[in-house]
Amino acid sequence: MIRHLMHVEFDRQRGLQEQVRESLISAILSGLFPPDSPLPSCRQLASQLHVSRNTTALVFEGLVSEGYLISRPRSGYYLHPDYHLTPPSAAQDLLIHDETAPSWSTRMKISPSQQESILKPAGWKNYRYPFIYGQPDTRQFPIASWRATANWLHGGVRDPAWVVDHIDQDVPMLIEQIRTRVLPKRGIAASPDEILITLGSQNALYLLTRLLMNRETRVAVEDPGFREAINTFLLSETAIVPHPLDNEGIKLNDAAACDYYYVTPGHQVPTGVTMSQARRQQLLAHAVRHDAVIIEDDYDSESNFTLNPLPALKASDRSGRVIYVSSLSKALSPGLRLGFMVADPDLIDEARALRRLMYRHPPTNIQYQMAHFLAQGHYETHLRRYHDDSARRWDRLHDALRTSLPECNMMAGSEHANAFWLSTPQHISTRQLTWRAAHAGVLIEPGARHFLGDAPPDHFFRMGFHAIDPQAIAPGVDVLKGQLMQMG
Task: Return the pLDDT at 265.
Answer: 97
The band of 2, judged by pLDDT with boundaries at 50, 70 and 90, is: very low
**DSSP conformational letter for 179:** I
* pTM summary value: 0.84
Look at strands 442-443 and 129-130 and give their pairing.
Answer: parallel
On whether the CB atoms of residues 353 and 196 are closer than 8 A, the answer is no
- Helix, strand, coil percent content, the chain, rounded in steps of 5: 45, 15, 40
The band of 94, judged by pLDDT with boundaries at 50, 70 and 90, is: low
DSSP per residue, 416-450: T-SEEEEE--TT--HHHHHHHHHHTTEE-EESGGG
The band of 430, judged by pLDDT with boundaries at 50, 70 and 90, is: very high
What would the pLDDT profile of 212-225 be if each residue is shown by its tens digit? 999 999 999 999 99
Distance (Å, whole) CA 367 – CA 168: 13
* Phi, then psi, of 319 in degrees rounded to 5: -125, 10
DSSP per residue, 16-52: HHHHHHHHHHHHHHTT-S-TTSPPPPHHHHHHHHT--
Is 73's pLDDT higher than 90?
no
Q: CA nearest 136: which of 383, 430, 412?
A: 383
Average of pLDDT values for 337-354? 97
Is 3's pLDDT higher than 50?
no
Bigger pLDDT: 8 vs 179 = 179
On whether the CB atoms of residues 289 and 252 are closer than 8 A, the answer is no
Average of pLDDT values for 411-433? 93
Q: Share the mean pLDDT of the chain.
A: 90
Task: Return the pLDDT at 231.
Answer: 95
- The region of weakest confidence among 37-41, 292-296, 441-445 is 37-41
Q: Work out the angle at residue 463's Cα, subtended by the Cα atoms of residues 333 and 370, and round it to the nearest 5 degrees.
A: 10
Look at strands 260-263 and 218-223 and give their pairing.
Answer: parallel
Task: Using alpha carbons, list the distances in angstroms from residue 171 to 145, 164, 193, 239, 366.
Answer: 20, 12, 12, 36, 10
DSSP per residue, 293-361: EEEEEETTTTT---SSPPPPGGGG-SSS-EEEEEESSTTT-GGG--EEEE--HHHHHHHHHHHHHHTSS
What is the three-class DSSP state of 62? helix
Task: Return the pLDDT at 46.
Answer: 85
Distance (Å, whole) CA 65 – CA 60: 9
Taking the alpha carbons at both ends of the chain, their separation in whole angstroms is 57
Is 157's pLDDT higher than 70?
no
What is the three-class DSSP state of 138? helix
Task: Return the pLDDT at 292.
Answer: 97
Task: Return the pLDDT at 110.
Answer: 86
For 133-149, letters b (16+ CB in 10 Å) and e give bbbbeeebebeebbeeb
On whether the CB atoms of residues 335 and 329 are closer than 8 A, the answer is yes
What is the three-class DSSP state of 77? strand
Q: Which helix (H) or strand (E) holds 482?
A: helix 473-486
Task: Return the pLDDT at 5.
Answer: 54
Contacts of 3 (CB under 8 A, 6+ apart): 48
Distance (Å, whole) CA 372 – CA 170: 14
Bigger pLDDT: 105 vs 183 = 183
Task: Return the pLDDT at 1.
Answer: 36
What would the pLDDT profile of 223-259 be if each residue is shown by its tens digit? 999 999 999 999 999 999 999 999 999 999 877 889 9
Distance (Å, whole) CA 300 – CA 322: 17
Distance (Å, whole) CA 251 – CA 235: 25
Is 4's pLDDT higher than 80?
no
- Report the amino acid identity of residue 356: R
Assign residue 345 a region: left if phi > 0, alpha if psi is -120 to 50, beta otherwise?
alpha
Q: CA nearest 219: which of 243, 239, 204, 249?
A: 239
Task: Return the pLDDT at 132.
Answer: 92
**How many residues are present in the chain?**
488
Distance (Å, whole) CA 97 – CA 176: 55
Cis peptide, bond prior to residue 224, ω within 30 of zero? yes
Look at strands 195-198 and 339-342 and give their pairing.
Answer: antiparallel
Assign residue 484 a region: left if phi > 0, alpha if psi is -120 to 50, beta otherwise?
alpha
Q: CA nearest 49: which of 5, 21, 2, 7?
A: 7
Chain center to CA of 414: 23
Is 92's pLDDT higher than 60?
no
Task: Return the pLDDT at 253.
Answer: 86
Task: Return the pLDDT at 95.
Answer: 57
Is 311's pLDDT higher than 70?
yes
Task: Return the pLDDT at 97.
Answer: 62
